[in-house]
Copies of this chain bind each other. A is one copy, B any other.
Amino acid sequence: MTKRIYTAGLVVIGDEILSGRTHDKNIAQVASWLQVQNIRLAEVRVVPDVIDTIVGAVNALRESYDYLFTTGGIGPTHDDITVDAVAKALGVDVVIHPEARAILERYYEDKGGLNEGRLRMARVPEGGELIPNRMSGAPGIKIGNLHLMAGVPHITAGMLDALTGTLEGGEPLLSETVGGFIPESEISTQLRDVEKAHSECQIGSYPFFREGKVGSNFVIRSTDRAALDACMAELCERLTEEGFEFTPGGI
């Protein structure tokens, strides 16, 4: 029997995110892509370029969730140690993947050829398969439930594109939004009561400040369309009772 819900963890690897030098774009990108695959991103860890810290995060998340993704640390330089860390986590050797080597030889043919650094990008944990990279040659790596991807967001995007439709997902998580210039603190009791009455739904409340006024968008999520619609109907009823104007779809 198919499991109803599939989950994923993400390990974002790189000192540059933790130093504030680079604003991470991969969490949102991977999160949005997973939604479309009907897989829920359950946890993210951002870790530095330190092998044992990466090993710890990889082992914790690969065992907790159906899938694990990593971004960063698969380039040609000395601080790119994701392959070594994953091999250590899995207890396997690092080997040169012949197809990856061939891809890199072709890619660098008119750019000075392979050298020691470039050859690093053909290294995989033993047993790894390749994730195509149409942008810059060096492939990502798939091994077991792990998917090692680049850190540069547009290259990551290409790898996600190559993985689209290849992972088994569960039932889609449906969502409906309603919003308005409604202070969440004036409707918190009703939100809680509506959520309690609809056990197959979760309601998230997302406040904002705009045009000099406070407001909120309320997002209801469920895998069950009928449950979602019933919850949405009751929430709108409560908002009307309280005298609030609201917009389906959110504002």
| Chain A residues within CB distance 8 Å of chain B | 12, 15-25, 27-29, 31-35, 40-49, 53, 75-79, 108, 111-112, 115-118, 120-121, 136, 152, 154, 175, 183-189, 191-192, 195, 202-209, 219, 221
Contacts and interface: CB of A to CB of B under 8 A. Distances in A.
B46 A43 contact: yes
Given A24-B28, A46-B27, A15 B188 contact: no
Contact of A17 (B31, B34, B112): B31
A58 to B, nearest CB: 13
Contact of A111 (B27, B121, B183, B192): B183
Contacts of A154: 209
Contacts of A112: 186
A215 B47 CA distance: 25
A43 B35 contact: no
Interface of A is mostly: mixed
A189 to B, nearest CB: 5
Contacts of A24: 24, 27-28
Pairs of residues from A and B, 4 with the lowest C-beta to C-beta distance, nearest first: A117-B188, A20-B31, A20-B32, A78-B192
Nearest to A111: B183
B28 A191 contact: no
